[in-house]
Structure 1
Amino acid sequence: MAAPAAAAAPRQDGPALDGSGECTFPMKKQIEGTPWPLQRVLLDELWQDTKGKGVRVAVIDTGVDDVNQQLRDAVDAKAGKDYLKPDKKNPGFGDEKRGKTDGTVDDVGHGTKVAGIIAARPRKGTGFVGIAPEATIIPIRQNDEKNSGKSDTMALAIDHAVAKRADVINISQDTTQALKADSPMGLAIARAIKAGVVVVASAGNDGMDGKLKNTYPAAFPGVLAVASSDRNNERAAFSQSGTFVGVAAPGVDIVSTVPGGGQCVDNGTSFSAPYVAGVAALLRAKYPEWTVAQIVTRIQQTAVRSVNGRDNHVGWGVVDPVRALADTPGTPPSSPTPDPGPPKPPAPEPARLALSETPQERSERLATYALGIGVVLVAVVAGTATVIRDTHRRRGAR
């Protein structure tokens, strides 16, 4: 039997900066300002109907720390799970984490950042807050910096999330190894979607070469694959492109929570996916009767387009949380469609055919012709008389 495919380790493209050039944790100081992705969102309008209360979002990652003050009330540790063997040399962040198997150990900090983008509670002294700040996080530790996670344990983690009543699953991991729909991970994804769970996954960070390729689980049918966009709503250089990309979301200079307390800044599609997962959580809270396909389509259909349709770099566009949550009449579609093209110019009116001249113009023309003919006749008569006169003179001279 072939060995299970490794789920790629969470990737952090470029240095993660907190102002000092390092991203360590816990952070003693909070980031005071409002992060640029949130500056673009009218939060009062976004949250006018819901902040995600009652919605459960599973974060399958490196664990989610529940000591950080912005996540303390967000994490359901009882529903969590740790699929990695305890590291005796490095048992976890802080003595209070020793021996815990509930998914709240995060030695890397990656999963804690992902969870914060989704559901961090507001806190005095920082402008950072999660997209769905009343949603609940189910922490599932399935990977670490050593690539300990495998596709088979990912499948187990997905099934666990469904069993713990997750409404949304965020997976900020990927592998480029081709996985079939009947692989353990593929089957687990299909079971989750059938159970009504919205699965959001990062597209991956290997896009610098510009080549199109699939990554998994993002490329499985029904998964909403998320690429990274920059401040100009263009694809971030590292973001993986492919035919499977559904939408893009901010993935450059992203602020989020770290284990122990505080925040720092990081880059990658790993942090674009939870931005979209947060929007999915709000939609699930507002429209609990919607299907998975309808929620995914709503996010795609309301995205800010770069082209009239989708492309392989940002999918259907950059997600717009406020537009996605805006009231919509009727039953939402189950698949996205290109926006109508620019309006067609009005059809030209039939040209009116007119005679070449009006009656008056015709009379004037005939009068002109008559005058011209008269002048010619006078000239001819005068010329003829002159010829006759000259002829008579010549005869008389003989």
Structure 2
Amino acid sequence: MAARLAGATALVCVTVLSPAAYAQEGRQDRPGPAGPASPALNGSGECTFPMKKQIEGTPWALQRVLLDELWQDTKGKGVRVAVIDTGVDNANPQLKSAVDTSAGTEILTKKMEKGKPADGTDDKVGHGTKVAGLIAARPVKGTGFVGIAPEATIIPIRQNDQNNSGNDRTMAQGIDHAIAKDADVINISQDTTKPLDEQSDLGRAVRRALDKEIVVVASAGNDGMDGKLKNTYPAAFDGVLAVASSDRNNERAVFSQAGRFVGVAAPGVDIVSTVPGFGQCSDSGTSFSAPYVAGVAALLRAKHPDWKARNIVAQIEQTAERSINGHDSFVGWGVVDPVRALTEDDTPPESPRPDPGPPKAPAPEPAHLAMSETPQERTERYATYALGIGAVLVAVVAGTATVVRDTRAKAARRGRSESNSHV
């Protein structure tokens, strides 16, 4: 997965393919992450964009959110979210007004338009367009799908393609471009398992973004079928909000990479989003969990512009729906709860903390254990013995007297009987 390209670590757009598409890609060694070239799949078959029809209903990942309550204070207006990916198509009606083409760029091929780098809207893969839609797709007639922050602005940064040509150096350039274009949130739905330290190009770029109080959200990766813990980058860098995938039951999706670096989980199975040109498709992967969380971060940034990046990350982690009191390596602090994150926000948290456990039951009163009797108890015991013995003696004496009396009476009667017989 982490092949070397031009001396740099390759980054993979983490999209999960169907078995058929997986085989077509020639990646039969393991069912982990695959390149973003294959079309997304939905229940009706392959999705070749642009789609002819829209998905009418409300996707399950949005059905669990009370959108009116979520948006009671903001829909993300004024917040700029950089999508560093395969580009973001702005022909789709749900993204046309969301994408800031003047701030976008093409890093991968250095393609020029009118004397300057292309604007990053040439998405031949569809991966980046799906990511952007989950963050900021505008509502339109004919579909129940909408972005989590439908008034936020997308900065399109094309840094990868169908061949996974992007690497840690071009990713670092994308982050620096996002900083230069005043991004408030950066979404990175790409990863590598090649170890990178804080002094790598990518590590330093992430630190520059964090130092500018930009919230950096990254996908955890899709190579988690074996359940083993391992780091992926940039998600595992300190300060990055790493996002795993959850399913409809709030459990870790089987493909989602586990690791101690995981901050939260978010819906990542059968996720509906926009595709280039027109319409929507469903797809699965931590690639689509990360932008769900990035949308929540955009709403928090809009509502609390004075909060630090670490406060926003801690708020998302602290308000997540948990299956245990604390953190684990599969879903982090729990599955993101967008409404709770935006409503239980009286004070900016510095870091997440475990939930208080159930109240402890009062300790039972210790039982009294008498190791020996007291003098009074001994006196009472002796008195009881004396009474018992006395009663037995009385009974014996009374019984003996009765026997003597009866014996004497019988003897007297016998004597009289014999006297009468002699007369």
- TM bucket by the smaller chain? 0.7 to 0.9
**Aligned twin of 1:287:** 304
TM superposition score normalised by structure 2 = 0.83
Q: Distance in 2 between matches of 1:389 and 1:263?
A: 119
Q: Distance in 1 between matches of 2:351 and 2:185?
A: 19
How far 1:314 sits from its partner (Å)? 0.4
Q: Distance in 2 between matches of 1:336 and 1:34?
A: 31
Q: Distance in 2 between matches of 1:347 and 1:290?
A: 44
| 1:245 paired to 2:249 | no
Q: Distance in 2 between matches of 1:57 and 1:155?
A: 16
Q: Distance in 2 between matches of 1:51 and 1:268?
A: 25
Q: Give secondary structure in 2 for the equivalent of 1:209.
A: coil
Q: Distance in 2 between matches of 1:282 and 1:376?
A: 97
User: Per-residue CA shift, 1:206-260, capped at 9, x if unaligned?
Assistant: 0112211100000001000000000000000110001111100000000000000
User: Per-residue CA shift, 1:118-176, capped at 9, x if unaligned?
Assistant: 00000111000000000000000000111110110100100100110000000000000
Q: Distance in 2 between matches of 1:131 and 1:190?
A: 26
4+ residue segments displaced more than 4 Å: 347-353, 369-376, 391-398
**Aligned twin of 1:333:** 349
| 1:76 paired to 2:100 | yes
**Aligned twin of 2:326:** 309
| 1:56 paired to 2:60 | no
Q: Distance in 1 between matches of 2:229 and 2:222?
A: 12
Contact 1:226/1:249 (8 A) holds in 2: yes
1:187 corresponds to which of 194, 200, 204: 204
**Aligned twin of 1:39:** 63
Change (3 A) 1:248 1:386: same
How far 1:375 sits from its partner (Å)? 9.2
| 1:22 paired to 2:39 | no
1:278 corresponds to which of 274, 295, 302: 295
Quick check: 284-293 or 13-22, which moved more? 13-22
How far 1:342 sits from its partner (Å)? 1.1
Q: Give secondary structure in 1 for the equivalent of 2:400.
A: helix
How far 1:308 sits from its partner (Å)? 1.3
Q: Give secondary structure in 2 for the equivalent of 1:116.
A: helix
How far 1:13 sits from its partner (Å)? 3.2
Q: Give secondary structure in 2 for the equivalent of 1:265.
A: strand
Counterpart amino acid of 2:308?
Answer: T
Q: Give secondary structure in 2 for the equivalent of 1:196.
A: coil
1:158 corresponds to which of 175, 185, 188: 175
User: Per-residue CA shift, 1:239-288, capped at 9, x if unaligned?
Assistant: 00011111000000000000001000000000000000000000000111
Contact 2:14/2:221 (8 A) holds in 1: no
Unaligned runs of 5+ in 2: 22-39, 370-382, 419-423
**Aligned twin of 2:11:** 7
Q: Distance in 1 between matches of 2:88 and 2:308?
A: 28
**Aligned twin of 2:91:** 67
Q: Distance in 1 between matches of 2:117 and 2:309?
A: 33
1:261 corresponds to which of 268, 274, 278: 278
Q: Give secondary structure in 1 for the equivalent of 2:45.
A: coil
How far 1:349 sits from its partner (Å)? 6.4
Q: Distance in 2 between matches of 1:324 and 1:389?
A: 103
Q: Distance in 1 between matches of 2:213 and 2:219?
A: 20
**Aligned twin of 1:129:** 146
Contact 1:79/1:164 (8 A) holds in 2: yes
User: Per-residue CA shift, 1:352-381, capped at 9, x if unaligned?
Assistant: 99xxxxxxxxxxxx9xx9899779736631
| 1:207 paired to 2:224 | yes
| 1:228 paired to 2:245 | yes
CA RMSD across the alignment = 2.9
Contact 2:108/2:170 (8 A) holds in 1: no
**Aligned twin of 1:119:** 136
Count of residue correspondences = 375
Q: What's the % identity of the aligned pairs?
A: 68
Q: Distance in 2 between matches of 1:323 and 1:394?
A: 109
| Bigger-Rg structure (1/2) | 2
Q: Distance in 1 between matches of 2:272 and 2:75?
A: 19
Q: Distance in 1 between matches of 2:391 and 2:9?
A: 106
Unaligned runs of 5+ in 1: 354-365
Quick check: 9-18 or 222-231, which moved more? 9-18
Counterpart amino acid of 1:177?
Answer: K
Q: Distance in 2 between matches of 1:253 and 1:379?
A: 97
Q: Give secondary structure in 2 for the equivalent of 1:228.
A: strand
**Aligned twin of 2:360:** 344
Q: Give secondary structure in 2 for the equivalent of 1:247.
A: strand
